[in-house]
Structure formats: structure tokens, C-alpha cells
Structure 1
Amino acid sequence: MLTAAISFALTAAGVAVAGLRAYRRRFLSATRWFAVALLPAGLYLTGLFPVARTIGREFADWATRLVFDPRVWTGIVLLAISAALLLTTRRLGRRDAVDAPESRPAAGPASERPAVTAAPPKPKKAAAKKQDDGLGDFADIEEILRRRGI
């Protein structure tokens, strides 16, 4: 009963704030406030507050076990090892596929596959200018400021 009263009080307060925002012609903000204001009543009417309470209690129990139970730490270490092994085998599998293209199944003739083109090289003059300035990426900004007389 107390949960219902609190839920509907929060909903009423949110609708009041949404009304004030709409009165000030802030319709987008008023719509957001109204949408958020409907959440407590909707959670109560669907019966999700007990579910949230149970989830919160279980999470708190798990966190307590995490701190004090060495079995949980062992499980975390095992999960980390498993993730590291999966990532390592994935990376090694990709490297083997690149090194030995004949081991991969053929996707068709090589002429049907699109060619990969490299990016055009930068002009050497611009690259040398950036290195000589010592400013790196700020050279363009400095040039714009210089043109405007700042």
C-alpha cells in the first residue's frame, strides 16, 4: 500500500513539473518529464517493484560474496583466463588465415574480388612543412589566425 502511494505521488509530481514546463512553452522538455513521470505508476501497476527489489537483494548478496568469498574470485580468474584464451585463438586464427591463403576456401576467382587500393601519398612538401613547424596539427589553426590578423 505504501508502494502504491509513493508511486502515484511521484507520478503526480512529475506530471505537475511537466505541466509547468509546458506552460513555459518548453514542450520537448515537458514531454520528457511526462514520460519519466509515468514510469513509477507503470512499474507499480505491472508489478515490477517486487522484481526490482528481488534483483537488488540478489545483487547485494552477490557483491557481498564477491568481497568475502574466495570461490567467487576463483570464478572471476577462470572467466578472465577463458576470455584471454578465446581472444588469443581468434587473433592467431586471423593471422594464420592471412599467412596461408590456400588453406581458406576459395570465394571465387581472384578477378571477381574487388581490389584494395592504398590511399594516395601525401605531398612531401606539406609533410616536411608540418615537421619543420614543430606544431603538428596546430599549423592549420595558426595559418587561419594569421590570415584574420589575430
Structure 2
Amino acid sequence: MLAETICSAAAAAGLGIAAVAAYRKRYLSAARIAAYALVPLGLVMTGAVEWIADTAFSPVAWAGFGVLGGAWLLLSSTRAIERRRGGRTDGGGGAEAVGRAERAAVAPTASAPRAAATPKPAADDFSDIEAILKKHGI
């Protein structure tokens, strides 16, 4: 009840300020002030202020926010641990699955790309540049 009274008083004061601005022939400012003044009145009329006041002073609502925060913390920490482990999870075979994954990572496969045994000489890089420069007459 107190929140509704305060919002209604703020709306009345805002409309009074808008009337003064309109009296001074500042119609655009008066319309803007009136629009802002009508927002708290609209919130009171829709019941949003009562809902917010009931939620803000309800211990059950705050406990619910705490439970939601705990769930978010648990979810984000498990995701961070999963990323740190490289996507491995606890279920599905345990040490056997990890052992197989490590053996597969160590053993070379036919589909794995092979690195070049000898690097290209540095002269090839400069020959391309020289060709471009000669093309432009430099």
C-alpha cells in the first residue's frame, strides 16, 4: 500500500511539473515529463508495484533466488571442469575409456596428416616477391 501511494504521489508531482513546463510554452519538454510521470501510475494500475513489493519482502522469494543462484553456480562449475578435462566425463567406462583414448592419441593413424620432413628453403619465399616486383617494374 505504501509503494502504491509513493508512486501515485510521484506521478502527480510529475504531472504538476509538466503543467508548469507547458505554461512556460515548452510543450515538447512538458509532453516528455508527462510521459515519464505516467509510468509509475501505470505500474500501480497494472499491479506490477504490488508484485515487486511482495517479491522484495518475501523470504520464500529470496530463498528461491538463492536456489537458482546455486543451480547456476553448480552448472557453470561443472562446465568449467569439463572444459579443463578436455571433454572427458566421469561416466561410460571410467579408466578403460580414458586408457583407450590415450592409446588412440599416441598410436599414429593413416588418416593423420604427416608433417613435411624438410622445410622449404627461404629462397622460394623471396622468389615470389621478386616476381611480383619485376611484374610491376620495381
Query: TM-score band, normalised by the shorter chain?
Result: 0.3 to 0.5
Rg larger in 1 or in 2? 2
Higher helix content, 1 or 2: 1
TM-score, with length taken from structure 1: 0.40
